[in-house]
């Protein structure tokens, strides 16, 4: 079906990297802002951690921590090389 003029039209991108560079030059908003990018990549990381631990995990999206699982929480961050830190 055809998307009507009053319906949501999504920006089509075949290259997020190029869109990001274009937005730096134009000062326009990218198709995927930092919050959406963060949340999207978080889901991938959570899946990888669950796969590595071979068990179901419970995630608190507000705290961005696993619930009651110290081993899983230790896998969220990597040690930083000096002098870099967050």
Instruction: Dump pLDDT digits (tens) for 53-74.
Output: 999 999 999 999 999 999 999 9
Mean pLDDT of 21-50: 92
d(CA 69, CA 58): 8
- Joined together, the tokens standing for residue 73 give 């929480």
Structure confidence at residue 80 as a pLDDT band (50, 70, 90) = confident
Does the pLDDT of residue 14 top 90, yes or no? no
72 contacts 53 by C-beta, under 8 angstroms: yes
Q: Please report whether residue 22 resides in a domain.
A: yes
Q: Residue 60 sits in which domain range?
A: 16-74
Identify the CA nearest to 56 among candidates 80, 36, 72, 45.
72
The pLDDT, as a whole number, for residue 85 is: 81
Q: Please report whether residue 51 resides in a domain.
A: yes
Q: Please report whether residue 40 resides in a domain.
A: yes
Instruction: Please count the structural domains in the chain.
Output: 1
Structure confidence at residue 75 as a pLDDT band (50, 70, 90) = very high
Mean pLDDT of 27-50: 91
d(CA 67, CA 64): 9
d(CA 64, CA 43): 11
Q: Please report whether residue 79 resides in a domain.
A: no
The pTM score is 0.68
d(CA 67, CA 58): 5
């Amino acid at each position: 079906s055809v998307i009507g003029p009053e319906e949501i039209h999504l920006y089509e991108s075949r290259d997020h990297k190029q869109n990001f560079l274009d937005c730096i030059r134009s000062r326009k908003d990218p198709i995927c802002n930092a919050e959406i990018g963060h949340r999207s990549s978080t889901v991938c990381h959570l899946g990888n951690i669950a796969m590595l631990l071979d068990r179901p995990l419970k995630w608190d999206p507000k705290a961005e921590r696993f619930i009651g699982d110290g081993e899983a929480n230790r896998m969220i961050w990597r040690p930083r090389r000096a002098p870099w830190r967050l």
